[in-house]
Structure 1
Amino acid sequence: MTIPDALRAAAARLVASSDTPRLDAELLMAHALGLSRADMLLRQRDLTVPQDFLALLDRRLAGEPIAHITGTRDFWTISLAVTPDVLIPRPDSETLIEAAVDHFTGRSPSTILDLGTGSGALLLAALDQWPQARGVGIDASPAALAVAQENAGSLGMDDRATFRPGNWAVGVDGPFDLLLINPPYIALDEPLSGDVLRDPAKALFAGVDGLDDYRRIVPALPRLIAPGGMAAIEIGYRQADRVSALILAEGLHVRVKRDLAGHDRCLIVTGD
């Protein structure tokens, strides 16, 4: 079987279990070949299907996320190592970086704080965007911090990114020009499906209404946002009004930014 034939057959098998069957097949084939997806597609008619491709496909058919199979995930302009210890970075979260780019047009934040850093995705994407900036990532999980530290090293950002354990903003001294915050926001009884089922539960659930962690984080924002700075906070698409009310109660300004699907995804918070 040729690689084009194998990709078509794999995509057909994945239709029932994946929203992106063709992409999944291509990523698995590229991983099996040890190539980038772009290189694999350019050379596919000259290559042979590797022996372990079907084993990788079976893992995906069993529900294992692509990021766990390949061990990597692209996010913004960087590629990150990903393990089951961290939330898989998703395109929706790039909305936070987009909001920051819009806010800092023509200038760069000097200091960045990433609360709930996980794999380090948001902080490291921001540091790649602004090479003069430095940042701190906080997470309660030692395993997640190890992944984030590995990613910083792989990207050559060890000297600009510091990771440390913590309980959100407790004990964190500010202010910072940019805060990036992606807390758990799923209600305990909310049904889930797909790859999110493989994410760490502590990175997903936040009490009966999904707002527990916002209630812990928001009171710290007035002291953490520097003059002229901002916080970009990820929210569930039905949470804008309730989380905004918490923020307004602290005397801050807030507006909503939608993701590419048109869903409310990011709250932009300023003190100005």
Structure 2
Amino acid sequence: MTTARQALAVATARFGFSATPRLDAELLLAHALGIERSVLLLDLDRAVPAAFAALVERRAAHEPVAYITGSRGFWTLDLAVGPGALIPRADSETLIEAAIAHFADRPPTTILDLGTGPGTLLLTLLDIWPDVRGIGVDRSAAALGYARRNATIAGGRAMLVQGDWATAVAGRFDLVVANPPYIATGATLPPEVAGFEPAAALFAGPEGLDDYRRLAAMLRACVAPTGAVLLEIGFDQADAVGALLAEQGFATRLHHDLGGNPRVVLAVARGGA
């Protein structure tokens, strides 16, 4: 009998391309067993189900763990994800922290999430603020399918709309958030990203700025006069995105991720809160 301890050692060795090979193996084995990873780690002498071998082969072919298991943890949530939806990243939690800090005295009443994907930002914020309502917009029907599955978290407080950025909605919102595509077309990405995640959610022209240009021109019309905009950015895009927002009358401030990189731009109308 192969034990979990033995199987994890073999799988970990095969996942040498990953930044987290042991964690990947543990998540896949827990998924195959139908238990939480924490439960698995309490008994590493348990038997290994036959289904685990197929999961190892999929990961060895660089398929993302989140697509294999069908879920990804973000903040305090477990979100359903799969092909066609951008996988939530830990770096995006910087935006959640920035939102909490900015609205520390009084939560927003309404939120607009542009490019919501599987609902990552919108649903996390609605979970944090139980009296807030929001709208998530995405062009991708596949991504919205996952967002609708995840929207049960919000208990009817989330509306999901298929459309092109802010052209799909009307009105002004206290908080507008977005994690748009920001990778330069032609940039080299890890195989598990380039080969599996949707290109439309990753690439944005030769400088990675095409979608920021479109968004900047729309934001004044959809954020409340005393509201705020939070945009996730690439680590080297702070100056360029800040300039685009300044042209539209916004004052900006940066928030950095755990690695010390500029990760989120907070924008408010000049003279606003």
TM-score after normalising by structure 2: 0.94
Shift of 1:172: 2.2
CA distance in 1, matches of 2:139, 2:185: 20
SS at match of 2:146: helix
Q: Deviations over 1:172-230 (max 9, x none)?
A: 22311111101111111211114221110111111121111111111122222224321
Secondary structure of the 2:167 match is coil
Please give the TM-score of this superposition, normalised by the length of structure 1. 0.95
Distance 1:171 1:61, change over 3 A: closer
Of stretches 227-236 and 68-77 in structure 1, the one that deviates more from structure 2 is 227-236
Q: SS at the partner of 1:86? A: coil
Contact 2:161 2:168 in 1 (8 A): no
CA contact (8 A) 1:235 1:267 kept: yes
- Report the CA distance between 1:96 and its aligned residue: 0.8
1:84 match = 83
Counterparts of 2:38 and 2:6 in 1: how far apart (Å)?
17
1:43, distance to aligned residue in structure 2 (A) = 3.1
Residue matched to 1:161: 158
In structure 1, give the amino acid aligned to 2:182.
Answer: Y
1:138-153 to 2 correspondence within 5 Å?
138-153=137-152
**2:18 counterpart residue number:** 18
Pairing of 1:13-52 with structure 2 (within 5 A): 13-15=14-16, 17-45=17-45, 47-52=46-51
Q: Which residue of 2 aligns with 1:59?
A: 58
State the 1:42 CA deviation: 2.0
Q: Return the match for 1:240 from 235, 238, 241.
A: 238
Distance in 1 of aligned mates of 2:83 and 2:262:
27
* Contact 1:149–1:158 (8 Å) recurs in 2: no
State the alpha-carbon separation in 2 of the partners of residues 77 and 226 from structure 1. Answer: 28
Q: Offset at 1:158?
A: 4.4
SS of match in other structure, 2:73:
strand
**4+ residue runs of structure 1 moved beyond 3 angstroms?**
none
Q: 1:5: Cα distance to partner? A: 2.3
Separation in 2, partners of 1:159, 1:55:
37
CA RMSD of aligned residues (A): 1.3
Matched residues in 2 for 1:14 and 1:123: separation?
A: 33
User: After superposition, what is the alpha-carbon deviation per residue over 1:94-130, rounded to whole angstroms, capped at 9, x for unaligned?
Assistant: 1111110111113211101000011011100111111
> Does 2:256 match 1:255?
no
Instruction: Give, in whole Å, the separation in 2 of the partners of 1:138 and 1:109.
Output: 18
CA contact (8 A) 2:137 2:168 kept: no
